[in-house]
Structures are given as structure tokens and as C-alpha cells.
Structure 1
């Protein structure tokens, strides 16, 4: 086989569409662009996101902090350093923290944050732990139990 004998396989190529060559050719007159309007004219048309002069969607939506997340998880948070006042080897839940007065409002499931130091071992049941909080609790000899958060408070 020589180079001049190479050819694409049968059915691998299609003929180029020749537009504007009469109505019997299938793409005559307006060449498949419709009747009138900006999209039927020559040139590039409109940029992506253009809505005919109306303020486009990407500019209508507020940016960053002004646009709240739709299904944001709301947690009741407490830092590891605040747990140092509890009894050693006790079990810590959202209810026990509210009874002890360390948390005053229930804003949703309990989340433990890693600010502060912990020296006593505690068994803590919470919906979420930060990585730093989990390391500090386990370094003090305690344990972290992740419990299902149940219903989220909005």
C-alpha cells in the first residue's frame, strides 16, 4: 500500500453543506438562518449570557456575602477550651452542656471547634468535630463520637 492509495473508510466523511444554492438544495434562500433578526445576519451574533439588553443573570444575582446559601447547616458551636471546666471522664452532649450553662441557646446540632486547650479526658457526642478539636480531645485521653445530626435548624 502506498500513500496515494490511502483513503478514509466508507461512510467516515460527509459532504460539506452548500447553503444558499436554491430551494431544491434544502438550504436555499435564508440558508437555514430563519427570516430576520440578529441571528440571521452575518457576523458573530451576541456574546454568551447576553439577554437582549436586559440585565443578564450573572449580574442580577448578588455576590458573595449578600447571597445566602440555600440549605446552610446551622450548628451550635463550642470550643474545646470551654470544656475544661467539666468533670473528668464524663459524657458530653448538647443537653449536658446546656444544663452546665456552657451553652445558652440551641442553634442546631453540636459542633466542637478546636480553640483552646483540653487536659481532662471526656467522651464527647456531637454532630461534627473540626480536625484540630478531635486531635486535642484524643490527645487528652478522651473520645469523639459522631452522632447523626437529625433535623437541621434553619
Structure 2
């Protein structure tokens, strides 16, 4: 086997439609484009969202809401998840780097500890934000909630 005798597998290729090569080919004349109009001519390009002059969908549907430029998005991590981490390997402090190494947050994510679940061990948790219920639960277990 060499490059000169390579060819595709049987049935892997189809013959290309040869458009505009005379009436005998059955694809001469209009070359399957129909009669007249912009679509039949070369250089035709349909605008995206154009509906033939009908009011397009993106203009029929009303505008809605807005996106705040000052929004801060947090990655929420619940207490039951932290308790699960502590069962696997006990530690006295949990910080952002610990969450990243555990695969719970990305490197640049801001972390908010939320109050679902319970925590039994005293642990110092470092995060960007805490819910009130999370702070209460951590301090009730003898730990400390440190805001970064």
C-alpha cells in the first residue's frame, strides 16, 4: 500500500451534482434554483432573521429585563458538602484553595457558603460570603466563619 493507490471505501463517496452543464444533465437551465428572484441569482445572501418582509421574531417579542453591570456572582457551597469533605480528610481550616482542589469551585470564583445541612466538627471556613444560617451553624459547632 502506498499513497498512489489509496482510495475511499466502497460506497463512502457520492457523485457531485454538476449544475448548469446543459439540458441533457437534467440540471441545466435554472440549475435547480427555480425561476427569477434574488435566490436564483449569484451573490444572493439572506439576512439572518429575515422573514420575507413579515415583522421578524426578534422585533415581535418585547424587550425584557436588564443585566446589572455590578452583579457579583457567587459559587454556592452548602454546609452538607463541607461536612462531606471533612469526613474524608479532617482539617482545621477550609479556604478557597481547598474548594478549588476538591473540584467544587474554579480558581477565580467567589465562594458563598450556604446553610443547607448540618456541620458537627469545629472548623474555620474562609469564603467571600456567608448566609446568616450558615454563620449560625458554623459558630454553633464551635467553628469560625471568616469573610475574605
Q: Assess if the C-alpha contact under 8 Å between 1:123 and 1:142 holds in 2.
A: yes
Which residue is equivalent to 1:144?
Answer: 145
TM-score, reference length from structure 1: 0.49
* SS of residue matched to 1:112: strand
Residue number in structure 1 paired with 2:101 = 99
Give the Cα separation in 2 of the matches to 1:96 and 1:76: 14
Distance 1:90 1:74 in 2: 27
Consecutive unaligned residues of structure 2, counting only runs of 5 or more, are: 1-61
> Unaligned stretches of 5+ in structure 1?
1-60, 148-154
Query: Take 2:76 and 2:137, find their aligned partners in 1: how far apart are those partners?
Result: 16
Partner of 1:13: none
How much does 1:70 deviate?
Answer: 1.8
State whether residues 111 and 127 of structure 2, in contact with CA within 8 Å, keep that contact through their aligned partners in structure 1. Answer: yes
The CA distance in 2 between the partners of 1:114 and 1:69, in whole Å, is 26
Spell out, residue by residue over 1:36-75, the C-alpha distance to the aligned partner (whole angstroms, 9 max, x if none).
Answer: xxxxxxxxxxxxxxxxxxxxxxxxx944xx3222210011
Match of 2:82 in 1: 83
Paired residue total: 84
Q: Is the 8 A contact 2:105 2:111 kept in 1?
A: no
Q: Distance in 2 between matches of 1:99 and 1:93?
A: 10
The answer to whether the 8 Å contact 1:118/1:140 transfers is yes
TM-score by length of 2: 0.50
Contact 1:80 1:113 in 2 (8 A): yes
**TM-align CA RMSD:** 2.1
Deviation at 1:100, TM superposition (A): 2.5
Shift >6 Å, 4+ stretches: none
In the alignment, the residues of structure 2 paired with residue 141 and residue 116 of structure 1 have an alpha-carbon distance, to the nearest angstrom, of 16
Larger relative CO (CA 8 A, sep 6+): 1 or 2?
1
Secondary structure of the corresponding residue to residue 146 of structure 2: strand
